[in-house]
Amino acid sequence: MSKKIKIGIIGCGGIANQKHMPALQKLADDCEMVAFCDIIESRAVKAAQEYGVEGARVYTDYRDLLKEEEIDVVHVLTPNVSHSPITVAAFEAGKHVMCEKPMAHSTEAAQKMMDAWRKSGKKFTIGYQNRFRNEVQTLYHSCRNGELGDVYFAKAHAIRRRAVPTWGVFQDKEKQGGGPLIDIGTHALDMTLWMMDNYEVDSVTGSVFYKMGDQVDGNLFGPWDPSTFEVEDSAFGFIKMKNGATIFLEASWVLNVVESREASTTLCGTKAGAEIRSGMSYAKNELIYNRVLHGTPTEERNSAMGAVAYFEGSQAAEGIVEARQWINALKNDTEPLVKPEQAFVVTQILEAIYQSHAQGKEIKF
């Protein structure tokens, strides 16, 4: 595509305003937002005024937006349960699709998205922006270069001490399909699987807890209404891969721990180990390697770079990097970094954790 890519935004809530629309606005030389849809019309109107081209259209039904022939790509930024029907309809309308994470709330819904994508011949990606962080990219390349050896054990961390989201539909099981596991656990699991480059799952065992829904004190985002808290507050998964490698996934919005670690991973290999530490307990994101050097166990940290006098410099936020690579993939007909097949496995594992808890047994793949 040599012309500007024309984008339709479906869902003008939190993630659209916090990540997607500001990032796309910075890529105005290559793309433009021409249509906006939200079930609350005022949100779509506001988005069109702030981020749209002159004359941008506003809709309250995504099916009407998808009828616009000039739209090349849609960003599906709605609650989890609606990802599948909107994405399927977008592919049937001949659009490329960027869908916010997770791919879907269930494997069945995600499979419909995969089938529609393969039939369409269009491009498809999922919004796992944490892959684009500097330290995540660095560790990924270390793994690809074999610097850790055979990574046979990992932990995927998505733990908050007291940070339950009290806006939107995060606590609504019907619209979201789950709580912290599907909300923030999905990021940590995506990062860990991607580092290990292993998507061959053998079995999943899970524990899910509904213990803290009425413990509203001390929450970062203020108290919530316990009567509407329908999702789990914590979930834990033990994932065994076909080659024997094992991943432990921990996800919680509200857990009585000292250390809050989110969108983080711990990798243990035969040559070395590595940890990414990020979340509320850390002033900055850290990447720490551990290995034996000349017979001595050592730790290596990534350096904090200072600014140069009279020049601040800047590193684009991961949301902007994510948007840029997606737009470049469309313009240059290349593969996006986050592949649908990978995101599909993440959804399969998350659902298996819920199923394992409900059925009281290990789920075999």
Right CATH for 132-317+347-364 from 3.30.43.10, 3.65.10.10, 3.20.20.60, 3.30.360.10: 3.30.360.10
Q: Is the pLDDT of residue 177 over 90?
A: no
Q: Is the pLDDT of residue 70 over 60?
A: yes
Q: Which of 73-77, 168-172, 202-206, 214-218 has the lowest mean pLDDT?
A: 168-172
Q: How far apart are CA 59 and CA 107, in angstroms?
A: 29
- CB–CB of 278/261 below 8 Å? yes
- The torsion angle over the Cα atoms of residues 245, 250, 256 and 261, rounded to 10 degrees, is 90
Model pLDDT for residues 294-324, shown as the tens digit of each residue: 999 999 998 665 555 655 444 568 899 999 9
Q: Where are the domains of the chain?
A: 5-122, 132-317+347-364
What is the DSSP pairing of strand 234-241 with strand 246-252? antiparallel
- Tally of CB atoms within 10 A around 101: 23
Whether cis (ω within 30° of 0) applies to the bond prior to 102 is yes
Residue 254, Cα to own-chain centre: how many angstroms? 20
CATH 3.40.50.720 fits 5-122, yes or no: yes
